[in-house]
Amino acid sequence: MPESPAAAAAPAEPGRLRLRPPRERVDRRAVAWWTAQSVLTVVPLLAVLAACAAFIEPARFWLLLAAAAVGVLGLAYVLVMPRWRYRVHRWEVTDDAVYTASGWLWQEWRVAPMSRIQTVDSGRGPVQRMFGLTSVTVTTASAAGPISIDGLAHWDATEVVDRLTEITQQTQGDAT
């Protein structure tokens, strides 16, 4: 039986980690970054449909209809998704674990104990750099894959990487 939100947020017993909502929000500029990403996804698709409609006479009506549908759905995606993701995305680093919450339609909470962390990386794509943002990826000995904290201010990401590196070096265990 799933725990109630109050039980999930309750303090853990010593030596036991609990899945709970993380406390820190990503940087507010992540909304603009996610908006730019969604625009860079929708606009080329619309351009291809419009170009095809211009050159393929027999299918022009259907291509324009598809372009209109993509335009309406794309506009909703561009306007809603970034703000919704911002409300969901959270992160937190404690002395014992890294906690994340992410997603917008499919939401996921993750916790990675410090003893399971293998590597800590940061990355910035060109659009992220435009907004002064960085992503931190925490690779663990888990079949679920790495934990990613997207949308951190560059300075905050640098501090997170430094802190995680320091804590994991002091943590006993072999990260397996």
Helix or strand holding residue 99 (H, E):
strand 97-102
Q: Quote the pLDDT of residue 14.
A: 54
pTM over 0.85: no
Tens digits of pLDDT across the chain (176 residues): 344 444 444 444 555 677 788 999 999 999 999 999 999 999 999 999 999 999 999 999 999 999 999 999 999 999 999 999 999 999 999 999 999 999 888 899 999 999 889 999 999 999 999 999 999 999 998 888 999 999 999 999 999 999 999 998 887 766 55
Q: Quote the pLDDT of residue 7.
A: 42
Q: Quote the pLDDT of residue 110.
A: 92
d(CA 123, CA 129): 10
Cβ contacts of residue 91 below 8 Å, gap of 6+? 22, 24, 26, 98, 99, 100, 101, 149, 152
Q: Are 162 and 153 in contact (CB under 8 A)?
A: no
Question: What order of strands is seen across the sheet that includes strand 90-93?
Answer: 24-25, 90-93, 97-102, 108-113
d(CA 50, CA 64): 7
Q: Quote the pLDDT of residue 155.
A: 96
Q: Quote the pLDDT of residue 13.
A: 55
